[in-house]
Amino acid sequence: MATSSSLSFLSSTIFFSNSNTIHSSKQQQQKHLIFKSKQQQFSIRSEAAAAAAATIPILSFDGTEVGSTTLNLKSAPLDTARAVVHRGLTTDLRNQRRGTASTLTRAQVRGGGIKPYPQKKTGRARRGSNRTPLRPGGGVVFGPKPKDWSVKINKKEKRLAISTALSSATQNAIVVEEFDDKFEKPKTKEFIDLMRRWGLDPKEKSLFLMTEVSDNVILSSRNISTLKMLTPRTLNLFDILDSEKLVFTKSAVEFLNERYGNDDNDDDWKEVDEEEEDGGEVEESAESSE
């Protein structure tokens, strides 16, 4: 039976369920949302209580708790959380489609310019070309052509979907001290031992969010198939929902609170949007000049 990863809003738990049917209780007042993809099924459960800032323990390189930090992120209201996260996920998945599938019509297939046999006195049906769709090697009727599958989503709506998913996963999240300088050389075994000291199972899906990743850390973790090493630039909704454990560095927590926190206002987000648009225009002008 296929497994489905479930993400709980406000109760902040990510768990895997072996049942394809989610039973909701009137006493708990829970709403369930099921996201389906080609490989797996995501389930998101939201409760009626309001989400508060979450306190997450900070672990050292040795695995000991050295303190705690607060992750205070925006969360969509109960009435709109279902639609926001669903729209954010489906938009990301749809925008990944390349849309390069293409077939040839009978006018584009090579050959078939000459009439195969005379029109009359053969006893056969009349035929003007060997490249008719009714014959092998002929064109394709109404076949796929290159198409743009991308859809638009507002930047604020996308950020709200990500912050809502992150805020619901805080119970299965930990914060660790910076460990870039701890790996003098690439060693996957040492990285697996580090994960176990932090209470992570290498067989479970984990997401690491770091502001900067050294080459030795990348080389030490890339052979672990269940691990995703992300930066703020590559943070996406699919990997958040697909992970069982979330690991943040201190600098990553500061970035999340600044980027997706409750203290952010619309003016700050507008400034970030303008900076991103200006950067895109500069890149496009540089490419055109080349």
The string of pLDDT tens digits covering residues 252-278 is 999 999 998 876 455 555 544 555 555
Is the separation of the CB atoms in 224 and 218 below 8 Å?
Answer: no
First to last CA, the chain: 54
Residue 270's contacts (CB-CB under 8 Å, 6 or more residues apart) are: none
Dist. CA 1–CA 9, nearest whole Å: 25
* pTM greater than 0.75: no
Please say if the pLDDT value at position 45 is more than 50. Answer: no
234 alpha carbon, distance to own chain's centre: 9
The candidate with the shortest Cα–Cα distance to 238, out of 86, 89, 33, is 89
Cross-strand pairs, 209: 230, 248
Residue 39's contacts (CB-CB under 8 Å, 6 or more residues apart) are: none
Cβ-based burial of 92 (10 A; exposed 0-12, middle 13-18, buried ≥19): middle
The pair of three-digit structure tokens given for residue 192, joined into one six-digit string? 């697996």
Please say if the pLDDT value at position 69 is more than 60. Answer: yes
Cross-strand pairs, 55: 70
254 alpha carbon, distance to own chain's centre: 21
- Tell me the mean pLDDT in the region 87-114: 92
Cβ-based neighbour number of residue 47 at 10 Å: 17
The candidate with the shortest Cα–Cα distance to 60, out of 179, 230, 183, 170, is 179
194 alpha carbon, distance to own chain's centre: 26
**pLDDT, tens digit (0-9, with 9 covering 90-100), for 187-225:** 999 999 999 999 999 999 999 999 988 899 999 999 999
192 alpha carbon, distance to own chain's centre: 24
Q: 110-148 burial string, b = 16+ CB within 10 Å, else e?
A: eebeeeeeeeeeeeeeeeebbbbeeeeebbeeeeeeeee
Residue type, 92: D
Residue 64's contacts (CB-CB under 8 Å, 6 or more residues apart) are: none
Dist. CA 280–CA 34, nearest whole Å: 35
| Higher local confidence (pLDDT), 290 or 120 | 120
How sure is the predictor about 78, in pLDDT bands with cuts at 50, 70 and 90? confident
Q: Strands 227-230, 206-209: parallel, antiparallel or unpaired by DSSP?
A: parallel
Please say if the pLDDT value at position 40 is more than 70. Answer: no
Dist. CA 212–CA 254, nearest whole Å: 13
